[in-house]
Amino acid sequence: MSTISINNFKVQLSNLDKVLWPKQGYTKGDLINYYIDIYPLIQDFLAQRPLSLKSYPDGINGKSFFQKNAPDYAPHWLSTYGIYSRHRKEAINWITVNKLADLVWVANRASIELHSWFSTINKPDEPSFAVFDLDPGDRSRFKDVIDIALVIKKIIDEMKLIAFLKTSGKSGLHIYVPIKTGYKFTASKIFLKSIAEMVIRVKPGLATIEWRKKKRDGKVYIDYRQNGRGKTLPVPYSIRPTANATISTPLNWDELTPGLSPEQFTLANIANRLGKKGDLWSDILQIKQSLPSYLL
């Protein structure tokens, strides 16, 4: 056990040599250092947004567990926010990462992935963006996911909207449409479902909005249902518990070429990519777009 001081907050660190990614040999210390380095790029996707944690104390091949409630032994300075859960009929003391010390504490728990809400604690029912989660089916290839993403992009372009793209870090793609404050999740879902139905009319053999896996017929699932209070997806630059330590990486739309693979973007090369491309999502939260009224 060691203690470091981050902006006058004392953070206890433990088992820094613990290997979390056996294939690559990456340790918990590597995880913590990565998140310290990337924090300036992700802080606005974490601040004031409840975080759903999944810890891997024995590495990515060991048992993992979810945690929403801040534990009793959390330091007094950890940023938390209590929100009543209608489902659980009790308040959940959500962890929020409002400062670097919060993030280091989270990473020290081997919480590899950073899953945050689409809304903030100030306006929990009003999302900052509408999000498509494209998930390949058991008969589809990543090329099919790319095809569906490009159809969505064309429709969004015709609506004169701006959309941002990233890999999920696993097998899919995420498309974020930043929206202005004031829309409820119900409005963003209607918007997303309308576009998804247009895509299916164009690519009926490739895409589906069927939420039951066994009824998807192996097609790419356009998941718009993730848009809701309390739902989460990995933030941009979140590392994932995959063999090669892949990262949910922002992309330029012109990078969606047939040879693209989410496996290309890893802890080993993300710093080099950022050096060349910069932060492609730097302005997403400054863009406040209106949704087309004729769809709502």
pLDDT digits (tens, 9 = 90+) for 17-69: 999 999 999 999 999 999 999 999 999 999 999 999 999 999 999 999 988 89
Mean pLDDT per 10-residue section of the chain, whose length is 296 residues: 95 97 98 98 97 95 92 96 87 95 98 96 96 89 95 98 97 97 96 97 92 84 93 96 98 95 96 98 97 91
| Whole-structure pTM value | 0.95
The sheet with strand 250-251 has its strands ordered as 207-208, 220-223, 129-135, 173-178, 164-167, 250-251
Q: How far apart (Å, rounded) are the C-alpha atoms in residues 199 and 250?
A: 23
Please measure the distance between the N-terminal and C-terminal CA atoms of the chain and give it in whole angstroms.
Answer: 54
